Amino acid sequence: MKPLRPHPNRIFLTLALLLLALVPGCKRKGMTQHEYMYVSAAETSLRDRVATMFNKVGSVNNGDRVEVLEKQRRFLRVRTDKGQEGWIEERSLVSQDVYDGFQKLAQDDASTPVQAHGTTRAELNMHLTANRDGDHLYQLKDGEKVEILRRATAPKTSPKPAKPAAATAKPAAQKKAMPAPEKKPAATTAPAASPSTATPASTASAKPNEPPPVPPVMEDWYLVRTASGRVGWVLLRMIDLDVPVEVAQYAEGQRIIAYFVLNTVDEEGKQVPQYLMLLNQPKDGLPWDYNQVRVFTRNRAKHRYETAYRERDMEGYLPVRTGHQTFDKEGDLPTFTIRKKNDNGQIVEVEYKMNGPIVRRVLSPEEAAAEKQKHNQALANHMQQVAARRAQHPNQAPAKKHEKHQ
């Protein structure tokens, strides 16, 4: 009896069923590796299915981490750290790379001194870079308190690529339809120019007619840090600095960029702060952070703030550092160090001290040595001049004393 052989059609059918079992249906893609993403929306719901009508099976908040389980068109099935699973729109999530970028931004500016405190004017997105088109993850609420760390300026819109010459040229049909320029009678026209002079004239007349390039519109940005430690870039004009009105009224129309409390003084049993304030022109796009420094001290007799120090027409750059330092005869005094561009175009640090209502520069050891050497040299020159005069007129001084004695 011959053994039964499997029919070829049965083998083909078995292989086809195995392939269908391996291929996911409905254009869904299973995740073979752990992929994590982060919620960039303020708050959104998790759906039980991808459809117009769905049930809410959970919710996620801004900054939450989710694990991606499955993809289907513009939706992702995710699992939260709490174990909730559901579908969410892909546009409400950002990748792990964006999250890592924000973490690095916070680490890089962990030691940056706070330049001011402010309050948001509306709900804002925190961007990874100072750019409207930059990635954003965290969101700020209206009226949320933030710390100001740095300032930057960037174009409002990304530059568009230049159009190719072929796109700006007129079609051939339009060129043929244009009337020829030399159709006027000979009696009413000037003598024709020679070919050698006509070509440069036409070229020269075309260039001045071209409009000059329009400069991009610039915007100023603040790098801010929230109370929870999140760091990101937001538009500068959307942050109101928490400067007291008693001091802000002296801004004289300038934009307050940063402010610092140098120390406090006792006024009728109450500790009143004294301020350092940095100002700039009231417009965006300037290459420097501030161009004016003002120190406000408290007049306790008149119960008002007065300007103790002012420096204008400078190119200053953040950050500014404040602190205290002990000086020999003056004791412990508040100090501040600014960064500005000198006459050689180099950015240098300059330190100041405040003793009561008096603000003066603190010389560096090199500057102090140079100043001492200059003083000693001037004193030596003066003594040499006195000795030379005495050598030329040895009896001049005794004669005067003798006449006075008589």
What's the rounded Cα separation, in Å, for the pair 286 and 280? 9
Q: Delimit the CATH 2.30.30.40 region(s) of the chain.
A: 28-94
Residue 263 has a pLDDT of 96
Q: Which among 145, 316, 129 is positioned nearest to 239, based on CA atoms?
A: 145
Q: How far apart are the first and last CA of the chain?
A: 165
Residue 286 has a pLDDT of 96
Using CA atoms, how far residue 303 sits from 268, 277, 297, 300, 358, in Å, is 10, 19, 11, 5, 18
Question: What's the pTM value of the predicted model, to 2 decimals?
Answer: 0.72
Residue 229 has a pLDDT of 95
The sheet with strand 270-280 has its strands ordered as: 255-267, 270-280, 292-299, 304-311
What's the rounded Cα separation, in Å, for the pair 201 and 235? 49
Residue 73 has a pLDDT of 87
Q: Delimit the CATH 2.30.30.170 region(s) of the chain.
A: 95-156+218-242
What tokens were used for 336? 């501040």
Amino acid residing at 251: A
Return the CATH number of the domain spanning residue range 28-94.
Answer: 2.30.30.40
Architecture of domain 95-156+218-242: Roll (2.30)
> Residues of the chain whose pLDDT is less than 70?
1-32, 158-208, 365, 367-371, 396-406
Residue 242 has a pLDDT of 97
Residue 191 has a pLDDT of 39
Residue 10 has a pLDDT of 65
